[in-house]
Amino acid sequence: MNNNFVKGSWQEILDWAQNKSINMLHYCTGCGAIELPPTMTSRYDMSRFGIGPAATPRQADLLLVTGYLSTKTLRRLVYTYEQMQAPKFVVGFGSCTINGGMYWDSYNTIKQLDKYLPVEMYIAGCMPRPEAILDGLLKLKKMIADGEADGYQRYEENKDFYHQNQEAVLGEVQRTQ
């Protein structure tokens, strides 16, 4: 009981630190990438909320998927996600990640990102403006602080579901750790 209490409080402290300091890896294959430079630089400075860019997947906490994913880039996205370290979050960006957007009948893009990776939240729009991105990321910060952003746990629990969906599109997927 006492031990659980200590563990819970420590987890709350870590959640608090995590929500104040997020390193973002932006996976920029879609067109939404063009909205990120203004969000990071002097016009809408996102670093005042403690969100900054990360150089590599190992150092990142947040994977921002900016726009459509062809089956070829989905493979790289899965590899990238599996290289990230445990408290990790995925945010879908733009309508392409929700329902395919303008690529809904394309032959080689995926339509729902949620079937392949555990998405915490979406930022809707085609494309969302920097204000919308900041709004979305602030909501993500709140979710992390409340301990609601548990995508990496869902990924572990429903491993079979996600792996099955990935393999249905990609064929064989090389599992890294």
Partner 1 sequence: MIDLIYKIGHFLLITIFTMALGLLFMGIARKIVARIQKRYGPPIYQPYLDVLKLFGKNAITHGFIFDFGAVMALGGVITTLFFIPLGSWQLYSMEGTVLLIIYLLAVASLGMAMGTVGSGNPQASVGISRALTQMLGYELPYLVILFALIFRYQTSSIWGLMQAQAGSFLNWNLFAYPLMALVAFVVLIGMMGKKPFDAMIAPSEIGSGPVVESGGKYLGMLLLQKSITIIIELALYVNLFLGGADNIFSFSFKMLIVWVLATMFGSLFPRFRIEDGVKFFWKWPLGIAILQALYIII
Would strands 89-93 and 121-123 be described as parallel, antiparallel, or unpaired?
parallel
Amino acid letter, 57: P
Residue 56 CA from chain centroid, whole number: 14
x/- binding map, residues 121-160, to partner 1, per CB under 8 A?
A: ----------------------------------------
Say how many residues touch partner 1, by CB under 8 A.
Answer: 25
Among 9, 85, 158, 164, interactor with partner 1 by CB under 8 A? 85
Within 10 Å of residue 130's Cβ, how many Cβ atoms? Answer: 18
Asked if the peptide bond before residue 46 counts as cis, ω within 30 degrees of 0, the response is no
Asked if 12 interacts with partner 1 (CB under 8 A), we say: no
Of 107, 93, 91, 85, the C-alpha closest to 35 is 93
x/- binding map, residues 16-45, to partner 1, per CB under 8 A?
A: -xx-xx-------------------xx--x
- Looking at the chain, how many residues does it have? 177
**Residue ranges binding partner 1 (CB under 8 A):** 13-14, 17-18, 20-21, 41-42, 45, 47-48, 50, 52-53, 55-59, 61, 84-87, 177
